[in-house]
A and B are shown apart, each in its own frame.
Chain A
Amino acid sequence: MTRLGARLAALGLALSLAALPATSAQAQVLREPAEGKRIVRLGAIQAIDSMNPFLAVRVVSTSVHRWMYAYLTTPDSKTLAPSPDLAESWETSADKLTWTFKIRDTKWSDGAPVTAHDAAWTLNKIMTDDGAKTANGPAVENFASVTASDDRTLVITTRKPQASMLELPIPIMPRHVWEKVGDIAGFEAEQYPAVGNGPYIAVEHKKNAYVKLKANPGYWRGAPKIDELHVIFYENPEAANVGLKKGDIDWIGRLAGPHFEALAGDPDIVQWNTQGRRASYLQLNPGAATADGEEIGDGHPALKDPKVRQAIHHAIDKQALVEQVQNGLAVPADGSIVPPMYKDFFWQAEGDVRVAFDPARANEILDDAGYRKGADGIRTMPDGNRKLEMRFSIHTEDPVEDKLAQFLTGWLKDIGIGLTTRKLDSNKFTEETGSTALYDIAISGWSVNPDPEEVFATHLCSRRPTAAGEGGGTESFYCDEEYERLYQAQLVELDRAKRAELIRRMQQKLYTDAPVIALYYPNNLEGYRSDRITSITPIPEDKGILYGGSGYWPVYSLQAVATPAGPAAGGSSAGAVIGIVAGAVVVLGAGGYLLARRRRAAADDRE
């Protein structure tokens, strides 16, 4: 062995010896949090943006707020239909404009009673203070007045009937704490323990690191069965996966396909794969115009023809996309923008309406419509002026979309449409597909809430850009009279079954007109440690979501293993000490080695 080799070997040995004593000790101590408590640690790939519910928009924050504060209603654990929460019951007036809620007699975590005045104050605050509109401004847009006629009765009057009244995404705040806040837009709400009335109480928030919640012993449904819930922030999904496998955290939601697959093979980890909230679809530029009807953009003229859009729909093999692009972790879309998870509102194409994968049929439609194939196999417009060569806009550095583009290019070639892929960074993409309409076909998607109103609003005429070219939030540049009529009708239809019917007709309209073509519904992918979490009920109970759904059922239902009393007081501090000791040993070992080497070197110098 050369001298260098020997030195390396010695260094390696020193390092592994230094690490050895830590191995066995850390396996027992590092993984164990405080003894005797039942703690669940949830990893989140998102930090809290604000603990002030009037400002917070990130999923992690709104989820935590769902667990800290009661809402008027909460989605039913089985059907997702609105069910009583802070409001025990409610009724509407004959003209559908006045809602009367009976507020539950409970207590805030500081002992003060919860009254209708709390609810009235919260809603009025959002209506009257621009600084409080950030999170939930749109939800109260249609409110005329909100009053508390007594401690138990809340009365909301609206300008027009509002079907989504029972899905208000607004936590009711304790007035006696919050009315002292002067500038609500500048208030961070970092006072702990926070006063709330949900199943959990936030007791600590270390910014960009974690939120610590404790079970609320006075919760009106009864205290949760665990003692603490920690929400721990990871910037990096790979690191979160490592944390789950190692046992630093017990549960992660909203996983991407590859991260979900990386959890396979661990006997202590449950891979939770259920139907999801999201629809992935293609946008086809239907001849974009501003909200004033003035044409904009450079969409291919052929796409103005619904027949061409339908032919493209026929050319797409959704089953193949699910298998090849999504590795089977999605459901092919036989409907439109509402995923099947929402049973009440989901519409499925059947019979003659269904657009099946059928390239021959697609070719037939295009032939009949006068788009003739040239010698190169690419069709031209009926007037012969322009070839059917189109662009497919996707995001840069997204391997899934890359793969999808390859499939789509092949399929469209089979029906005589040339497709070139255009990769755009996300800002440029948003601009070109949402404001300037510089696209032919583009990829998109939307996560749908239990009340699907907002996703339907993204296809309204009024959502198209203003005359000045400012984006209004359209997802398709679609503008259709029938669709607008149905949208307005469902807004004011308080009968859930009738409203669902209107919503299904809107989906059918989108499906047959094809300004968007739904490709698949990606599954909801999560993972949790079964050696820590012994029971958790998803929402909806039948194969639903654990994290990121609406309501608090999954975290409220959590049951976990109590941590046995260990030798160390605090697991993490013990871990730190062990780590430091190991580090010190490494340093000492390396130092000793270097010293020895130095002596030798000095001896060499003397020759």
Chain B
Amino acid sequence: MAAPTEIEPAAGPAAGPGERGGPPGARRGLLRYALAKLGGALLSVGMVVVATFFLFRLIPGDPAVAYTRDVPLTPDQLDLLRRQMGLDRPLPEQFLDFVLRALRGDLGTSYEYRRPVAELIGERLGPTLLLVGTGLVVAVTLGLWQGTRAAWNHGGRLDRFSTGISLTLWSVPTFWLGLLLLMVFAAGVGPVPGIFPTRGMEDVDAPDGPLYLLHVAHHLVLPCVTLVAVVYAQYLVVMRSSLLDEIGQDYVTTARAKGLRDAEVRRRHAVPNALLPTVTLVFLHIGLVVQGAVTTETVYSWPGLGLLFYEAIKGPDFAVMQGTFMVLCVAVIVMNTLADVLYHVLDPRVGSA
């Protein structure tokens, strides 16, 4: 397997040379830094709002006609629909309306469900947070752990094996892997029993109380495994390269020279330092996890935001597309900002001269 540099992020952990100098007033520096980042994030959110509006209007075709593709309507009824959708008004007016509403948290009304988009998103948020949250924890744990092992034995069989496996899974299409797991572990093939459900988060007549949690957890296994399998490589690779950097450092040699055991050098000296840039990257990579969630939810009929987005594209339900797209974008921006600030807080070499 080739060196994994090609999937390392373009935006590395360096938070910009300006902040690196570290003025004496560290807390004031942090505040100013955080405010600057926050401003940047707000600007990004603003641009997302603008981009969302115009992006979804670039989609060719008349939404009213597209939505009613197989429903025969008279021209009068199409007109009524266009009025209900606000499509009869000039574009700048629609845009202003969109922005003002978005500021109030009103993301419009779904054409397909005839309900406020914000309400639909609220309904779907829980399942997605459950799936993405669990998946993220497992992927990060697995990735960091495997990455550490790989770096410590770099060049060895374990390194080649675990890095190779993770990168192979990384390059597998999520949809395909999901279907494969579904066919093997939900349906059962040969000696492998089909012990997992084929769809969704819960079945009819799901049990109450604590058993309900088990019921949902049972449904969560396959989607979660799919999501983790595809994304954990990014954490492994980041941890691996970050730890490799540390291994060459003088302090590691010093630690070894003190006579510490190998495992202790790794645990107490190298890994904590390698973790710093890695932790921030965990946040930076959340966008990719969200992207994986869209496909995973589609394969397993998981009733989350990703599925909502996918259905909206099929519709096409423009209001829902806009709304989900915006929420997902904002989530990524928030996470990235957190990562920026967190890095500043965590890295002892920043702001503590």
Contacts and interface: CB of A to CB of B under 8 A. Distances in A.
A209 B195 contact: no
B214 interface: yes
Interface centre among A27, A52, A248 (most CB of B within 10 A): A248
Interface of B: 59-62, 64-66, 68-75, 77-78, 80, 82, 112-115, 123-124, 157-158, 161, 179, 182-183, 186-188, 191-207, 211, 214-215, 217-219, 221, 261-263, 297-301, 303, 307, 310-311, 316
Contact of A605 (B74, B197, B261): B261
Interface in A422-469: 426-428, 430-431, 434-435, 446-447, 454-455, 457-458, 462-463, 466
A580 B207 contact: no
Given A234-B301, A605-B261, A141 B199 contact: no
A55 to B, nearest CB: 5
B301 A233 contact: yes
Contacts of A462: 74-75
Contacts of A41: 204
Interface of A: 2, 4, 16, 19, 22-23, 26-27, 30, 33-34, 41, 47, 49-50, 52, 55, 57, 130, 133-134, 137-138, 141, 185-186, 188, 204, 206-210, 212, 230, 232-236, 238-240, 242-243, 245-246, 248, 291, 426-428, 430-431, 434-435, 446-447, 454-455, 457-458, 462-463, 466, 470-473, 570-573, 575-580, 582-583, 601-602, 605-606
A27 B64 CA distance: 49
Given A26-B193, A30-B195, A234-B301, 6 more contacts: A33-B204, A133-B77, A230-B204, A236-B300, A573-B215, A579-B218
Given A454-B72, A471-B65, A580-B217, A236 B78 contact: no
A602 B299 CA distance: 42
Contacts of B221: 579, 583
A137 B214 CA distance: 46
Contact of A207 (B123, B196, B198, B298): B123
12 contacts: A207-B303, A210-B203, A235-B297, A235-B310, A427-B59, A427-B60, A430-B61, A472-B78, A473-B68, A572-B203, A580-B214, A583-B221
A50 B109 CA distance: 14
B123 A138 contact: no
A92 to B, nearest CB: 24
B99 to A, nearest CB: 24
Interface centre among B199, B219, B221, B307 (most CB of A within 10 A): B199
A434 B61 CA distance: 9
B299 A236 contact: yes
B143 to A, nearest CB: 16
A430 B66 contact: yes
Contacts of B300: 235-236, 239
Nearest to A604: B262
A603 B296 CA distance: 41
A445 to B, nearest CB: 9
Contacts of A212: 204-205
Nearest to A208: B303
A235 B314 CA distance: 11
B72 A457 contact: yes
Contacts of B74: 138, 141, 462, 473
Contact of A473 (B72, B200, B307): B72
Given A435-B62, A579-B221, A243 B206 contact: no
Contacts of B193: 19, 22-23, 26-27
B113 A50 contact: yes
B77 A242 contact: no
B214 A577 contact: yes
Interface centre among B59, B65, B198, B298 (most CB of A within 10 A): B198
